Amino acid sequence: MGLFSPLPPAPASAIDARPAAWRLFITLLLMTLGSSGMYVSSVVMPQVQADFGISRADASLPYTLMMLGFGVGGMLMGHLSDRRGIAISLVLGAAGVGSGYVLAGLTHDAWAFMLIHGALMGLLGISATFAPLVADTSLWWNRRRGIAVAICASGNYLAGALWPSIAQYGVDAVGWRTTYLMLGVGSAIAMALLALQMRQRPPEQAAPTPPKGSAVVHDTQRPFGLSTRTAHGLLWVAGLACCVAMSMPQVHIVSYCTDLGYGAVRGAEMLSLMLACGIVSRLVSGMICDRIGGLKTLMLGSVLQGVALLLFLPFEGLAALYLASALFGLFQGGIVPSYAIIIREHFSPKEAGARVGSVIMATLVGMALGGWMSGKLFDLTGSYHAAFINGIAWNLLNLSIALFLSWRYRRSQQQLAQSPSVA
């Protein structure tokens, strides 16, 4: 790994400067390439179900195992990045994504197909291109951290906007297996070359960033007036819950449209539209976050995501589904990045990498669990109606935690303001 060995930390002058902007551009490309499997697997789900002769719930398992591997791998890759530099993690991710696509395209065993998605594409591959990159980006920016992290995270949605249509074209032209092979070779080469541009370690961070709108910096040992373990645990549960809700449209929209008789092509278009609008949402949410802080951004996104999920219940017309997909993308894109900002605002920056990786893992576990639960509810009921209701219930849990943390934060700030030590 000598070629990808880390360089010394960048000078403090690189923060918020041109080197940070160039690194952010490379990060965006890596996120777009590395996240492709999350959306390609949804596009090929109907073909995989037919090819292997399995149920809808079983056809959802490759995605579920991939997201579980993604979550666990994010923590492992984050730890490796802290010790050996992010470039080494990224080249391992390139190997995982590339070999995962190729081997999945060659196998004719359903369980092997599922395990390849979990172990190679998730645990080793995609994991290197989300949580480690989000944590890395947060260390290169101070004044515009919200929008920088949003741009970084939008690569995930840019992947969702680009790859479904590309994958569907490949499936129609050469079949899903050949499409997998081509994606594997191309992704591995491109990601490895980009990893060479990520060898420099981030600048040293001297102090935590105070939450937006606060004149008083509270003790980072008691975020929200809670123990660090309790506060982190609540963010973990909130991240899981929000993404159980988020997974229903993102994972099953192609299958949903197929079941309604509109075809997989229309479903892939809706998924691309949804995630293209998610890019806009993440960028706008990043700008909002720089003004109002991560916690308020989380609450706003959670309310809007609940509204968007409700829109899917009464309407099944083609135009209505396109509109609901677009609004869902516009409403929920800022939720996941806000967790990273909350951690940078309320916890010590020395713990940013590990804590961001942990909470991002929770969101991925939520996507995995939600993807499987939606498929299981479909198998049990014969429709996706119950799956949408299930998503709404989980979203309410996420919103409840965000409201509780907001209340605790205001209370802790009042107590700090009244403390004799502050006076």
pLDDT of residue 259: 83
Which residues lie closer than 8 Å to 304 by C-beta, 6 or more apart?
330, 331, 332
Which pLDDT does position 380 carry in this prediction? 87
Report the alpha-carbon distance of residue 94 to residue 194 in Å, rounded: 10
| Structure confidence by residue, pLDDT tens digits, 246-297 | 888 887 888 888 888 888 888 888 888 887 888 888 888 888 888 888 889 9
Contact 310, 414 (CB under 8 A): no
Q: DSSP characters for 119-140?
A: IIIIIIIGGGGSHHHHHHHHTT
Which two structure tokens, joined as six digits, stand for 347? Answer: 């916890």
Q: Collapsing DSSP states into helix, strand and coil, what is residue 306?
A: helix
- DSSP code of residue 263: -
Structure-token match 């102090």, residue found: 207
Which DSSP category does 313 fall into?
A: T
* pLDDT tens sequence across 161-207: 788 889 989 999 999 999 999 999 999 999 999 999 999 988 875 44
Confirm if 195 and 313 have CB atoms less than 8 A apart: no
pLDDT of residue 220: 65
CA distance 130 to 359: 12
**Domains of the chain as residue ranges with CATH:** 12-416 (1.20.1250.20)
Question: What integer pLDDT is reported at residue 307 of this predicted model?
Answer: 92
In sequence order, the β-bridge partners of residue 251 are: none
* Cα distance between residue 249 and residue 326, in whole Å: 11
Rounded to an integer, what distance in angstroms lies between the CA atom of residue 295 and that of residue 240?
16
Torsion of CA 289, 295, 301, 306, to 10 degrees: -170
Cα→Cα distances 231→28, 222, 326, 368, 404, Å:
30, 8, 33, 23, 11
218: helix, strand or coil: coil
- Give dist(CA 139, CA 134) in Å, integer: 9
Identify the segments of the chain with pLDDT beneath 50: 206-209, 211-216, 218, 422-423
At 318 the pLDDT is 87
pLDDT of residue 349: 67
